Amino acid sequence: MIRNQWYVVLESNEVRKNKLTAVTRMGEKMVFWRSPDGKVVCMVDLCPHLGARLSQGKLVDGHLACPFHGYEYDPSGACVYLPAYGRNGVIPKALKAGTYPTHEAHGYIWIYWGQAEGELQPPLYFDSLTDDFSYISIHQRWPVHYSRMVENQLDVSHLAFVHHNTIGRGGRKVVDGPLVRHQNGLLELWVYNRVDDGRPPVPADKLPEPTRHPFLQFRFPNIWHNWISDDVRVTAAFVPVDEENGLFYGRFYQRITRLPLIKQLILWGGKIGSIVIANQDRRIVSNQWPKKTGLRIGEKIMQSDRAILIYRQEREKLLEASRREK
């Protein structure tokens, strides 16, 4: 995983008031909870005293109390009450639980996984997904590194095979381009697949300047947007669990109608379709080897894999930068 990045790790409704939510993310055990003002807190699920799991504790007056000896930690991670020292005892400043900065927006919870220096800029989402959209979610666990999940959604040449009876119908196996642009952490992709008529594929630099919005967008490190139409979209957050497992947080968005009954029918239809398509991908991607992708793992990249190559190159740059910042 790339350090010093904002990652979507949960949906907002997974962290409730007065309740602890224990998860594994980025290969680390974490516990999430809400402070009295409703702000999400992300704490390393480890008491710095003697290594107990803080998620087995309880919330007391806006603090997280360790189940072992009752040490209480505030949202910053500082120990504010050490029962063995009494209410007026001097608490060592070094007694502090690990925490990560959080940001909540668009129904998602992000954490900044790394060392925050100075004021952090909040993470970006997708500007075209405005408040007049409604959405429905799906969650799936995939037994593969999140980077393979990302690449699957940037792969334009698998559609006619993996999705031959859904979104890949029509036998458009030849890939012109694709046209890929990357700037400031946002990768945009225009897809030009067609039926094989004997003509060789057109390279990206020979394609005309696009006149429509991109078909796909990916924002580093782990969110993706499929711009199906102005009123129908699909998004996904590829949430890292550990080196061999990830979570697929998919969403189907619509603004075709706001009429409650019709809106729900459209959303549920979109959800069912999204599950079918995701399962087709999951069956293949879960068995890719190695489980984690990389720029130099011996795989043979083709012209049609241009988006995957750019993703790997940029990911490698970010990994190198994060290593230098340690």
Q: What is the pLDDT of residue 116?
A: 81
Residues 6+ apart with CB under 8 A from 262: none
Q: What is the pLDDT of residue 101?
A: 97
Q: What is the mean pLDDT of the chain?
A: 96
| Residue pLDDT, tens place only, 23-54 | 999 999 999 999 999 999 999 999 999 999 99
Neighbours of 130 (CB within 10 A): 9
E strand or H helix at 257: none
Read off the pLDDT band of 72 (50, 70, 90).
very high
For the chain, which residues make up each domain, given as ranges? Answer: 5-113, 134-324
Mean per-residue pLDDT for 247-256? Answer: 98
- Decide: helix, strand or coil at residue 303: helix
Burial-class residue 220 by CB neighbours within 10 Å (0-12, 13-18, 19+): buried
Mean per-residue pLDDT for 124-144? Answer: 97
User: In sequence order, what are the beta bridge partners of 11?
Assistant: 108
Q: Please choose, from the candidates 10, 276, 290, the residue with its C-alpha nearest in 3D space to the C-alpha of residue 168.
A: 276
Gap between the Cα atoms of 316 and 323, Å rounded: 11
| Residue pLDDT, tens place only, 58-70 | 999 999 999 999 9
Is the predicted pLDDT of residue 326 greater than 70, yes or no? no
The reply to whether domains 5-113 and 134-324 share a CATH topology is no
CATH 2.102.10.10 fits 5-113, yes or no: yes
Q: Please choose, from the candidates 178, 196, 214, the residue with its C-alpha nearest in 3D space to the C-alpha of residue 305.
A: 178
Lowest-pLDDT choice from 85-89, 101-105, 177-181, 228-232: 85-89
Taken as a whole, the chain contains a residue count of 326
| Domain 134-324: assigned CATH number | 3.90.380.10
User: Which pTM was predicted?
Assistant: 0.94
- Retrieve residue 131's tokens: 């408040």
User: In sequence order, what are the beta bridge partners of 245?
Assistant: 242
CA–CA–CA angle 241, 245, 251 (5° rounding):
75
Alpha-helix runs per DSSP H in 127-259 = 146-154, 159-162
Lowest-pLDDT choice from 75-84, 86-95, 157-166: 86-95
Is the predicted pLDDT of residue 21 greater than 80, yes or no? yes
Cα separation values, 21 from 4, 63, 185, 235, Å: 23, 14, 30, 24
Is the predicted pLDDT of residue 291 greater than 90, yes or no? yes
Gap between the Cα atoms of 118 and 114, Å rounded: 13
Gap between the Cα atoms of 163 and 171, Å rounded: 10
